[in-house]
Amino acid sequence: MKTVRVALLGAGTVGQAWVGLLPQHQDRLAALGVRLELVRVLVREAQKSRPGIPPQLLTTDPEGFLDGVEVLVEVAGGTGRVGDLVLEALSRGLPVITANKALLAERWRELRPYAERGRLYYEASVMAGTPVLGALQSLWGNQARELHGIVNGTCSYLIRRMEEGASYKEAFEEAGRLGYLEADPRLDVGGIDAAHKICVLGRLTVDPALEWAQVLKRTRGIEHLTPQALAEARQAGQAIRLVASLYPEDGAWVAAVRPVRLPLEHPLVLLGSGRNALVYRGEPIGTLYFAGAGAGGAVTASAVMDDLYRWLSGAPGHRPIPQIVPALGLEVEQLEEA
């Protein structure tokens, strides 16, 4: 039986859920000849209660955190110190399993060489436990045409509550009480979270060098939406949704996030009711639909566990597409901005 020593960076909702999954997987891991040993958990506050995690494993000191481990699991979020530790782990030759879409989007130039070598695993970064990254990576044999997705559950909740008659302020306060908002709510309502995710998807499917700054320039949130605007759209047979898109424009690939008007029968409206949804179109495969839970500690932790199995089985991480996909002469669906 081989012992695999794991360092965990972050012990919030996802980190605690992942540690809670470990006992359930002991027999399955043993069948692979593996015993996992969680040796260290780096957190911001050591005194905070973290049910299920032995207090002696907790540390706030990054010094020596990576010593003597075989793999780093990162679920802390953020791009600063967390990003530095992820890069240190990769530079040491350690594989990294992460759910951190912000880090992937904003520090891609540093991370890309490791991703190209298959050392970076990040299925949990988009749509949590719904395995869209692996599925999209398997479509390189097609000519991608476009991709559209509802990938931020918080905005979907706010829009639904306004459709039901709540004001934006009321819906926002409800989302806060329910714990749906990021620590910085602008990441949700400003479209930044969705922009991070479409950036990750774009590099995996059409352009390995897709620039975060260019995505950010085309990102618009939902702060301006009102119950009246949503009601008027509904009367016209439409629904307004925050959609992240990837499409060709003037011979180049563009990633954008903005509220758009969709027919009520549009797949994103039907599939994205209460969950995340993606529509991919390519040739010759045609149109594919993906839908499932896109948030939640246990759901996200399950994708982190899936990536751990992927690494243990010897499969590489999520590599970006090797070169940019031609974007000339492609006809795409025109979405009306709201």
Q: Are residues 21 and 74 in the same domain?
A: yes
Q: Are residues 225 and 306 in the same domain?
A: no
Q: Is residue 248 part of a domain?
A: yes
Question: Do residues 116 and 243 share a domain?
Answer: no
**Domain shared by 244 and 287, yes or no:** yes
The amino acid present at 39, given as its one-letter code, is V
Total domains in the chain come to 2
Taking the CA of residue 193 as centre, how many other CA atoms within 13 Å lie in the half-sphere pointing to its CB? Answer: 28
Does some domain include residue 171?
Answer: yes
For the cut 80, the answer to whether the pLDDT of residue 226 exceeds it is yes
| pLDDT surpasses 90 at 231 | yes
Q: Which residues are annotated as a binding site for L-homoserine?
A: 182
**Residue 149: predicted pLDDT:** 97
43 and 146 inside one domain:
no
Residues 128 and 158 in one domain: no
Annotated binding-site residue numbers: 10-15, 101, 182
State the Cα–Cα distance between residues 225 and 230, nearest whole angstrom.
Answer: 7
196 inside domain: yes
Q: Are residues 90 and 162 in the same domain?
A: no
27: in domain:
yes
- Are both 11 and 124 inside the same structural domain? yes
Mean pLDDT computed over every residue of the chain: 94
Q: Are residues 92 and 160 in the same domain?
A: no
What pLDDT shows up at residue 295?
81
Percent of the chain having pLDDT more than 90? Answer: 86
List, for residues 309-323, the tens digit of each pLDDT value.
Answer: 999 999 999 999 999
Please give the residue range of the domain that contains residue 37.
Answer: 2-132+297-312
Residues 167 and 190 both lie in one domain = yes
- Looking at residues 211-223, what average pLDDT do you find? 97
Please tell me the distance from the alpha carbon of residue 67 to that of residue 278, in angstroms, as a whole number: 40
Q: Does residue 321 lie within any of the structural domains? A: no
Question: Both 59 and 197 in a single domain?
Answer: no
Q: Sorting pLDDT into bands at 50, 70 and 90, what band is 333? A: confident
Residue with tokens 């758009």: 260
Calpha distance 27→253 (Å, rounded): 45
Buried b (16+ CB within 10 A) or exposed e, 213-224: eebbebbbbbee
pLDDT tens digits for range 47-65: 888 989 999 999 999 999 9
pLDDT band at 207 (very low <50, low <70, confident <90, very high): very high
Measured between alpha carbons, how far is 71 from 23 in angstroms, rounded to an integer?
18
Catalytic site positions = 197
pLDDT digits (tens, 9 = 90+) for 250-302: 889 999 999 999 999 999 999 987 789 999 999 999 999 999 988 888 999 99
User: Do 286 and 302 share a domain, yes or no?
Assistant: no
Neighbours of 51 (CB within 10 A): 7
pLDDT for 272 equals: 84
